[in-house]
Amino acid sequence: MTRRKWVSILMVCLLCMTAANCVDGQDRGDRNAETRRPVDYRSRNFLVHTDLAKDDADALLQKMETMLKIISRYWGAPNRKTIECYVVDNLDYWPAGSLSPNVRNTVRQGGITIAQGARRGNQLNVNAVVYSSNSFGTPQHEAVHAYCYQTFGVTGPTWYAEGMAELGNYWIEDDTTVTAPDYVIQYLKKSPRKSIKEITDNRQRTGDGWQNYTWRWALCHFLVNNSNYYDRFRPMGIGFLTGRPSTFDRSFASKMEELEFEFQFFVDHLQRGFDVGRCVWNWKAKYRVQKGTRPVVSRIRADKGWQPSGLKVVAGQEYQFSATGTWRTSEDSAEVSADGGPDDTGKLVGILFMDYQLGRSFDLGIDGTFTAMNDGLLLLRCGDDWNQLGNNKGTISVELMSSEKS
């Protein structure tokens, strides 16, 4: 049997920029405060050298432990080695020589994870050290990279490594809604839309600006939480990390149109509290053109996004709808019918979908008629803010008939 040699393969830097230049209030040096020096703090998985006050350092360690628990559970690989981090709140408190000039420069605007080590066959011996500003969750972001290096030896392609690190940054235990800060959401809503192909372009390099990180986060957040895709996304990601690489195109080849539609819908409706899992598109639903005396019947839940009515409409044709049952749009609000409350919250609304395009939504209610503007599939929902669906309760039954009898 030949003995394999240790092969030194890693000396990697990931430079991760934060949005320091787009947000005010960066210079938080409280010059009048009692002079501090960096102190060591330990938790189960981390050794942190930081000039943060003890309470802040303890809170940070707790956040990082939670993040690590969630992400290592997601990847199915427990952390086995202490992650060492230098977290800088105020550079003035760091004595000359305690950080290299390069690191000093880096932590002004973000963070860097430096990994060194070797691999022999399946054995990995890598140490990754985080140097990070304390702003914008950068310590959590960098700690995801460090965990990946020490556990897998790699972090995956740039879009994946940075998207998942941002996910780690924003992750809150038992909360799958959007928790990214407002500047991230505002940027994504205002900037020119990116396709999934652009976001996953393998020619991208790390440290290319916080704006690109927001798109990577959006895609990873969407794919981790949408049940139409997470069963493909997770193995693909684990493949990136464990040397069974796949490509995005190959993993999602048969679903790209559906995926692109749902991802763009997510960005259209992006806001804090938006819950991807509640707005998963039902691509398997059956729709039919209504004929004869048998109505098309569906049951619509108050706590979900657009749901199939089962009705395929024909342009110009009039349809009758009638809805029975009640629902409510918050824990303490009154039960309402499909007509909704005084401000129309809780009203039954519809939308037409055709060729991966959505029309404008329109009001329905308990009963009445509407005329289809074009051919398409009718979807229904309970009218409520898109980030407020989680506390809705109830289901309404809807019957649909064509007014024109043949």
Cβ closest to Zn ion, residue 83 vs residue 165: 165
Q: How far is the CB of 58 from Zn ion (least distance, A)?
A: 24
Q: How far is the CB of 23 from Zn ion (least distance, A)?
A: 18
Task: Report the residue number whose CB is nearest to Zn ion.
Answer: 16
Size of the site for Zn ion (CB under 5 A): 4
Q: How far is the CB of 162 from Zn ion (least distance, A)?
A: 5
Give the binding range for Zn ion (CB under 5 A) out of 155-163, 253-261, 304-312, 361-369: 155-163
Cβ closest to Zn ion, residue 88 vs residue 165: 165
CA distance 257 to 260: 5
Q: Residue 99, interface with Zn ion (CB under 5 A)? A: no
Hey, which residues between 4 and 33 contact Zn ion (CB under 5 A)? 14, 16
Q: How far is the CB of 315 from Zn ion (least distance, A)?
A: 49
Cβ closest to Zn ion, residue 16 vs residue 71: 16
Q: CB–CB of 110/20 below 8 Å?
A: yes
Cβ closest to Zn ion, residue 223 vs residue 352: 223
CA distance 406 to 385: 40
Give the binding range for Zn ion (CB under 5 A) out of 71-79, 154-162, 240-248, 371-379: 154-162
Three-state SS annotation for 128-143: EEEEEECHHHHHHHHH
Computed over its alpha carbons, how large is the radius of gyration of the chain?
26
Instruction: Spell out the residues 6+ positions from residue 25 whose beta carbon is closer than 8 angstroms to its own.
Output: none
Q: How far is the CB of 216 from Zn ion (least distance, A)?
A: 9
For 48-75, the DSSP string reads EEE-S-HHHHHHHHHHHHHHHHHHHHHH
Angle between helices 210-225 and 256-268 (to 10 degrees): 120
Q: Which two tokens stand for residue 203?
A: 């020619």
Q: Which residues pair with 301 in a beta bridge?
A: 395
Cβ closest to Zn ion, residue 126 vs residue 165: 165
Cβ closest to Zn ion, residue 217 vs residue 287: 217
CA distance 105 to 78: 33
Q: How far is the CB of 85 from Zn ion (least distance, A)?
A: 14
CA distance 130 to 64: 12
**Type of residue found at 19:** A
Give the binding range for Zn ion (CB under 5 A) out of 19-27, 120-128, 162-170, 348-356: 162-170
Q: How far is the CB of 9 from Zn ion (least distance, A)?
A: 20
Cβ closest to Zn ion, residue 20 vs residue 314: 20
In Å, what is the CA distance from 187 to each residue of 166, 193, 218, 222?
15, 10, 11, 17
Hey, which residues between 164 and 193 contact Zn ion (CB under 5 A)? 165
Q: How far is the CB of 222 from Zn ion (least distance, A)?
A: 19
Cβ closest to Zn ion, residue 221 vs residue 347: 221
In Å, what is the CA distance from 248 to each residue of 36, 156, 196?
47, 12, 9
Q: CB–CB of 132/87 below 8 Å?
A: yes
Q: How far is the CB of 166 from Zn ion (least distance, A)?
A: 8
Q: How far is the CB of 224 from Zn ion (least distance, A)?
A: 17
CA distance 49 to 139: 12
- Identify which of 104, 134, 114 has the alpha carbon closest to the alpha carbon of residue 20: 134
Give the binding range for Zn ion (CB under 5 A) out of 35-43, 159-167, 317-325, 345-353: 159-167
For 287-334, the DSSP string reads -B---TT--EEEEEETTSSSEEEEEEE-TT-EEEEEEE--EESSTTSP
Compute CA 138 distance to the chain's CA centroid, rounded to the nearest angstrom: 17
Cβ closest to Zn ion, residue 18 vs residue 298: 18
Cβ closest to Zn ion, residue 46 vs residue 281: 46
Q: CB–CB of 276/176 below 8 Å?
A: yes
Cβ closest to Zn ion, residue 169 vs residue 225: 169
CA distance 246 to 238: 10
Compute CA 387 distance to the chain's CA centroid, rounded to the nearest angstrom: 14
Q: How far is the CB of 372 from Zn ion (least distance, A)?
A: 48
Contacts to Zn ion by CB under 5 A:
14, 16, 162, 165
